[in-house]
Structure 1
Amino acid sequence: MRLDEEFKKSGYFWLPSNPEKRIPGILVIKDGGSIELEVVGLFDDSIDGINRAINGSDALDRIVGHIEKHGLVTLDDCFYKNRNISFGGISKSTVHVNRAFLGVAYEEKEIMLFNHLKFSVEGIDEWVGRSGIKVEHQFDKKSASITYNPPEEIILNLNNGMKLQITFTWTLPGFPSQKEAKITQKTYFKLSSDQACSLNDFISVAYKITTLLGFAIDKTVCIEKVTATSEAVRQDIGNEKTALVPISIYYPSLPFAKNRPKIDQHRMLFRFGQIQNDAERIVNNWFGAYDQIDPALNLYFSTKAGAHKYLDGKFLALAQGLETYHRRTSKMKLMDEDAFEKLTSDLIEQCPEEDREWLSGRLRHGNEVSLSRRIKSIIEPFKELLGTSKERNKLIRAIVDKRNYLTHYDQSLETAVVKGEELWVLCLKMEAIFQLHLLQILGFTQSEVKSVFENSHELQQKLKKI
């Protein structure tokens, strides 16, 4: 979760089971969503509580509090990170918090359910590309007029029963505006469910939406500004009317990159405008991809988020990701399954009894095709983008040799494998191949994939012959 500045607020905190025992503390939320609570004293300073502390019982589960400027807060899934017991002095302890809910105080065992989750993602304004701000200049009269009409919301129906809205918030100039007139607009995603859902359900969907946006932008982008509402949590606004209480939520969301990405519309793989007529199908295809190729997607995004400190690690993740992708999307085998089972049975039957278990283990995956054949099959739909037959074979050989060397450290391959800049270029090409296939998974036709390639300078550079 992206925070532009550290969140640090003082307040009083207590356990829902003991609201009379309130202790001072400071709640700190850092960029990335890590949350800590530093308290003075202990939530339970009874003899039993101190004995539990001495014996290492660190779980606190849920803490509620009241902090400056924000009022009520609920801290969930908590435990002592370090705990100091000072007899006669001041003791400070640090509590690790997994999730913080600002604006509400939940009871000890109260189940948190929500109907709506609104969040923004880095790059969403540039990707959606819709603005209600219109500026008209009249240079001859040295004047200008600025008008604002909110863009229409976009509503997509998800196969999981939720609705996904692309919505907009805005601020207009205050009064009087004698020196400055400022209009701002911000784009958000909003998930809605008629049936109240757990936060985990919403977070899972929000994560997939974020990775879709990151794939389209070709950057690691982070969630920011998350708020939720529940039909069960309302506030009185007078005249016998109630309104939903907006609950700000903080948690260590994924994906996350330390530095905010530089977003450039011209460097995106594709923009919302290119898929707007088919957006619902494409978004649902992306969700379906997680059911089919989840491990491959995780490996791909790990390389984009900088999870691998060294280039060898990034290469291995890409190689494993491509292999896993092919395993999940292809039924390719060396021979017909029935024929292989018969061959296996015949071989085991003729094998000495004391070696049959060993042979059975060796044959278990004997019908799997080689990495070389998998990479060749993956390349086939886009072979015209990857050079001549000789160049493609060289690419396949480079991937297979490097994977085998790093996996088995075969010394005979040490002088043949790519290193340094050549390895970096190889990783770029593997990443591009991954992207071309993910476009297909989204539902892009061959001609549409080709159009994306022709209009993407970044994608062309990754496959550039060096």
Structure 2
Amino acid sequence: MKETNKGYWWLPGDEDSKCNGELDTSSRYPVLSLNGVGSDNIARRVPPFVMHGLLLNGLKVTMLECHTNGGSQFLHTGMGELNIESSCVIVGDSHYDGGENVYSGVKLSLSLLSEWTHLTAIKIDHQEGKQIIHLEPIEAIKFNLSNGIKGELGFTIDEKFGTYGKESFSVSEDTYLEFSFESKKNITELEEFGRKIQTFLMFCTRKPIKIEKMTPIIEYKKRKIGNSERLVPIADTVYAYFIENDEKKIEYRNQLIWFEDIKDKFGESLERWLDLNESIRPALDLLFSVKRATHMYLENEFLVLCQALESLHRRTMGRKAFDEAKFDTMLVDMIATVPDEHKEWWNGKLKNLNSPTLRDRLQEMVGSFQEVWAGYKGVDVFAQRISATRNYYTHFGDKTKHVYSLEEMMLVVGKLEALIEMHVLKELGFSTKDIVDICNKNFMWKEVIER
């Protein structure tokens, strides 16, 4: 699909009110610019909504999760353009008539993937004082995941800017991930799968990653043929936009997982990440909300990371102050002494007493990485001050001497982020020695842990 496309556009079920417009997919989000009769009806639509379109080249288009930009001005003047932004544009039959579409594969293009893998087909030899440049195609890395999923880390070489063999030529390279599914997935399931791959790369690089393009490999649609329904193949392209941050280069010494360290077990590492997503998804979402944020107050970063740490501890360590059976007996005995009209209220208050405090969780999690945190003294004081600071910003009580100042909080946020990342690495199967090695290579970890 070209970056800019002209056609006719309308709301589902309102094709008679279609209007002229032009779709631009070259921006961070796809933008549809509308003008003409019918646009005012679209401007009044409450977001998010769906738009249908028919390009002049005959391709059908569906825009999901649409919202208007500048619609109020359009309504007042009735002139100019109405711009509509969307998080996902599907070119083809998918979603077009409301049918259920299923896909047996997907190809993902992600920002910074090529930089992270650092693989290139361009080879330079030095012969008799000259540099000889030649191309050696890279073999795709293939792997198998559970549930019948097969994956491939592949590479493309584009020589369209020159001719190989001449004294000068231009070559562009790209790296992609491609998956095939034994159990077919619909568009929502594909987006969720893509999000998990995206966050894996974000965790490895400690950088915001954007899914630049998501293309189903083999697509099917349920069609009624005679008295039965059959799956008929369709050709679709999906332009999915999941993250706002601009692409930034990877800082080599700020990564958590280097591709060369897991190249031979890439599929196994990805499998572990997909499994881990199922069990600690809330904690990961909180962690990535901080990493993705372009503007977030330091106090908010601190509170979100405290919440992520508690969630991660609860889902992976789950320690209780007392044995469950013993605590239940204690609770029954305590509630028995309370008047009947207050039993329900006290039961709600007391049943949470068996859960460890934030301070307890911090001490246990830091204790799991004594070899890494060996240079840092005063873990008890650290846990006490974290707890006091969290309580101050959550409940806005008196500011005690234990509450961190804003000048101190930058370092504290770095420590919390590092502690969460270490624990996730441990859940991914990294040994203590592996984590120590990462600490020695990662300048941010080393900086915050040893201070």
Deviations 1:248-281 (A, max 9, x none): 3223314x41x32122334322212101232222
Whether the aligned pair in 1 keeps the contact of 2:5 and 2:55 (CA below 8 Å) is no
Q: How many residues align?
A: 435
Distance between the aligned counterparts of 1:362 and 1:157, measured in 2? 48
Distance between the aligned counterparts of 2:347 and 2:381, measured in 1? 35
Deviations 1:308-367 (A, max 9, x none): 620000000111111111111123111111111111111111212232222212112121
Report the Cα offset of residue 390 of structure 1: 4.4
Q: Which residue of 1 aligns with 2:151?
A: 164
Distance between the aligned counterparts of 1:16 and 1:351, measured in 2? 60
Distance between the aligned counterparts of 2:356 and 2:47, measured in 1? 50
Deviations 1:393-435 (A, max 9, x none): 222122111111111222052x431122310000101111111
Structure 1 pair 10/429, CA: closer, same or farther in 2 (3 Å)?
same
Q: Which residue of 2 aligns with 1:188?
A: 176
1:454 aligns with 2:450: no
Aligned mate of 1:128, from 113, 117, 122? 117
Structure 1 pair 203/181, CA: closer, same or farther in 2 (3 Å)?
same
Whether the aligned pair in 1 keeps the contact of 2:375 and 2:450 (CA below 8 Å) is no
1:26 aligns with 2:13: no
Report the Cα offset of residue 13 of structure 1: 3.3
Structure 2 counterpart SS, 1:411: coil
Structure 1 counterpart SS, 2:195: helix
1:153 aligns with 2:121: no
Deviations 1:105-139 (A, max 9, x none): 76422333323221222221122122221122324
Q: Which residue of 1 aligns with 2:388?
A: 401
Matched letter for residue 312 of structure 2: Y
Distance between the aligned counterparts of 2:172 and 2:45, measured in 1? 51
Whether the aligned pair in 2 keeps the contact of 1:10 and 1:26 (CA below 8 Å) is yes
Structure 2 counterpart SS, 1:193: strand
Distance between the aligned counterparts of 1:105 and 1:337, measured in 2? 51
Structure 1 pair 56/178, CA: closer, same or farther in 2 (3 Å)?
closer
1:444 aligns with 2:444: no
Matched letter for residue 222 of structure 1: K
Distance between the aligned counterparts of 2:399 and 2:75, measured in 1? 61
Whether the aligned pair in 2 keeps the contact of 1:299 and 1:320 (CA below 8 Å) is yes
Distance between the aligned counterparts of 1:57 and 1:429, measured in 2? 43
Distance between the aligned counterparts of 1:123 and 1:284, measured in 2? 21
Q: Which residue of 1 aligns with 2:54?
A: 65
Structure 2 counterpart SS, 1:63: strand
Q: Percent identity?
A: 25
Segment drifting more, 33-42 vs 213-222 = 33-42
Whether the aligned pair in 1 keeps the contact of 2:18 and 2:38 (CA below 8 Å) is no
Whether the aligned pair in 1 keeps the contact of 2:298 and 2:410 (CA below 8 Å) is yes
Report the Cα offset of residue 153 of structure 1: 0.8
Distance between the aligned counterparts of 2:267 and 2:106, measured in 1? 19
Whether the aligned pair in 2 keeps the contact of 1:78 and 1:95 (CA below 8 Å) is no
1:277 aligns with 2:264: yes
Q: What's the Cα RMSD here?
A: 3.3
Structure 2 counterpart SS, 1:421: helix
Distance between the aligned counterparts of 2:49 and 2:289, measured in 1? 32
Structure 2 counterpart SS, 1:331: coil
Matched letter for residue 9 of structure 2: F
Deviations 1:188-241 (A, max 9, x none): 1112224432122121111111111111111112111332232549xxxxxxxx
Paired residues for 1:41-440 under 5 Å: 41-42=37-38, 61-66=50-55, 72-77=59-64, 81=68, 82=71, 93-95=82-84, 97-102=86-91, 107-140=96-129, 142=130, 144-172=131-159, 174-175=162-163, 180-232=168-220, 247-254=236-243, 256-257=244-245, 259-306=246-293, 309-387=296-374, 390-413=377-400, 415-440=401-426
Distance between the aligned counterparts of 2:125 and 2:107, measured in 1? 33
Distance between the aligned counterparts of 2:43 and 2:210, measured in 1? 40
Matched letter for residue 102 of structure 1: V
Structure 1 pair 189/92, CA: closer, same or farther in 2 (3 Å)?
same
Distance between the aligned counterparts of 2:94 and 2:45, measured in 1? 27
Aligned mate of 2:8, from 8, 12, 17? 12
Distance between the aligned counterparts of 1:342 and 1:213, measured in 2? 47
Distance between the aligned counterparts of 2:394 and 2:17, measured in 1? 57
Distance between the aligned counterparts of 1:218 and 1:79, measured in 2? 30
Segment drifting more, 428-437 vs 107-116 = 107-116
Matched letter for residue 429 of structure 2: G
Structure 1 pair 59/208, CA: closer, same or farther in 2 (3 Å)?
closer
Structure 1 pair 107/335, CA: closer, same or farther in 2 (3 Å)?
closer
Whether the aligned pair in 1 keeps the contact of 2:204 and 2:258 (CA below 8 Å) is yes
Segment drifting more, 98-107 vs 398-407 = 98-107
Distance between the aligned counterparts of 2:49 and 2:395, measured in 1? 46
Q: Which residue of 1 aligns with 2:34?
A: 38
Structure 1 pair 189/55, CA: closer, same or farther in 2 (3 Å)?
closer
Whether the aligned pair in 2 keeps the contact of 1:227 and 1:246 (CA below 8 Å) is no
Whether the aligned pair in 1 keeps the contact of 2:112 and 2:247 (CA below 8 Å) is no
Distance between the aligned counterparts of 1:311 and 1:16, measured in 2? 44
